[in-house]
Structure 1
Amino acid sequence: MSRVIADYLEQASKLAERGVVFATITLVQPEGHVPQDIGAKAIVTQSGLAWGTVGGGRLEARAIEHATAMIVRAMAGADNNKLVDPEMIRYELQRDLNMVCGGAATLFYEISAARNWNIAIFGAGHVAQATVSLLCTFACNVICVDHRQEWLDKIAPRPNLRKILAAEMPDEVQALPVGTFYVCMSQGHATDLPIVRQILKRDQAAFIGVIGSEPKARTLRGALVKEGFTQEAVDKIHCPVGLPIGSNSPAEIAVSIAAQLLQARDALA
Structure 2
Amino acid sequence: MAGHIGVTAIPAHARACLTTLATLQQPVVLVTLVSRVGSTPQDVGAKMLVDASGRLEGTVGGGRIEERAIAEAKTWLATAQGDATTPPCLLREWNLQRDIGMTCGGVVTLLFEAFNVAPWRVVLFGAGHVAQSLVRSLLLLDCHVVCVDSRAEWLQKLPATPQLSTVQLDDLRLYVPHVRAQDAVICMTMGHATDQPILQALYAQDLTPAYLGVIGSDAKRKALEKGLRALGVSEPWLAQLRCPVGLPIGGNQPGEIAISVAAELVALRHAVAAE
**Residue type matched to 1:45 in 2?**
Q
What is the aligned partner in structure 2 of residue 45 from structure 1?
A: 25
Runs of 4+ in 1 over 6 A off after TM superposition: 67-70, 74-77
Q: TM-score, normalised by structure 1?
A: 0.61
Aligned residue pairs: how many? 186
Change in Cα spacing, 1:44 to 1:186, as seen in structure 2 (3 Å) is farther
For the residue of structure 2 that corresponds to 1:212, the secondary structure is coil
Change (3 A) 1:155 1:224: same
Structure having the higher helix fraction is: 1
Amino acid at match of 2:237: A
Which residue in 2 is equivalent to 1:221?
Answer: 225
- Paired residue for 1:154? 157
Q: Distance in 1 between matches of 2:197 and 2:138?
A: 24
The CA RMSD measured in Å over matched residues stands at: 3.2
Q: Which position in structure 1 is the counterpart of 2:215? A: 211
Work out which of the residue numbers 135, 138, 161 in structure 2 matches 1:135.
138
Distance 2:193 2:53 in 1: 32
Q: Does 1:192 align with 2:195?
A: yes
Partner of 2:41: none
Give the structure-2-normalised TM-score: 0.59
| 1:186–1:111 Cα change, 3 Å | same
Deviation at 1:130, TM superposition (A): 0.1
Structure 1 residue 79 corresponds to structure 2 residue 59: no
Structure 2 counterpart of 1:19:
none
- Between Structure 1 and Structure 2, whose CA radius of gyration is higher? 2
Residues 1:232 and 2:212 are matched in the alignment: no
Task: Give the match for residue 88 of structure 1.
Answer: none
- CA-CA distance at 1:69 after TM superposition: 9.6
Deviation at 1:42, TM superposition (A): 4.7
Residue 198 (structure 2) pairs with residue 165 (structure 1): no
Q: Which has the higher contact order (CA 8 A, sep 6+)?
A: 1
Unaligned runs of 5+ residues in structure 1 are 6-25, 29-37, 47-66, 82-109
179, 182, 186: which is aligned to 1:183? 186
Does the 8 A contact of 2:246 with 2:263 survive in 1? yes
Alpha-carbon distance in 2 for matches of 1:262, 1:75: 22
8 Å contact 2:139–2:163 — kept in the other structure? yes
What's the CA shift for 1:246?
2.5
Structure 1 range deviating more: 257-266 or 143-152: 257-266
Query: What one-letter code is carried by the residue in structure 2 that aligns with 1:247?
Result: G
Partners in 2 of 1:69 and 1:183 — Cα distance?
A: 30
Query: Aligned-pair distance for 1:176?
Result: 2.6
**Cα 1:113–1:162, aligned 2, differ >3 Å: closer, same or farther?**
closer
Q: What residue ranges of structure 2 are gaps of 5+ in the alignment? A: 1-9, 27-50, 55-76, 87-112
Structure 1 position 266, deviation (Å): 1.9
SS in 1 for 2:198: helix
Percent identity between the two aligned chains:
36
Contact 1:78 1:115 in 2 (8 A): yes
Tell me how far 1:27 sits from its aligned partner: 6.6
